[in-house]
Amino acid sequence: MVIEKWIYTHIEEALFDYEKIKTSTKSTEIILTKAIEDTLVYYKGKLHETMMREYYFKATQRAKMYNRGKWHNQICFNLIMTDPSMGYVLRREIIYRVALVCASNNLYKFSS
């Protein structure tokens, strides 16, 4: 599945801002929040869940210490014990899963 760059970026920023958007009343953010929560349930107990909780949801805590690249490497080496290239694969799978849930709720439409 290939998604447009703006959709990928929109979802990734929603993951970084999850703490802010989960209390929002905007319909787009409600759908994104539900999609993120469904993705957390789907990946429960897997490396993807750790990546979501540690890399995306704790982004505001780490912002003063590391840039995103260094934070990504820290998470990969110290928490999920994998190569950073595998961490990028995990992040992409998370974003694709959120995009699928959003598409099933008619937030995004994908062309073939």
Condensed to tens digits (0 to 9), the pLDDT of residues 13-42 reads 999 999 899 899 999 999 999 999 999 999
Where does the pLDDT of residue 112 fall: very low under 50, low under 70, confident under 90, or very high at 90 and above?
Answer: low
Residue 77 domain-assigned (yes or no): yes
Structural domain of 44: 5-104
The model carries a pTM of 0.88
Residues 6+ apart with CB under 8 A from 55: 71, 72, 75, 87, 91
Would the pLDDT of 1 be above 60? Answer: no
Residue 109 domain-assigned (yes or no): no
**Closest by CA position to 56, among listed 75, 41, 43:** 75
Number of domains in the chain: 1
Residue 112 domain-assigned (yes or no): no
Residue 111 domain-assigned (yes or no): no
Residue 16 domain-assigned (yes or no): yes
Residue 110 domain-assigned (yes or no): no
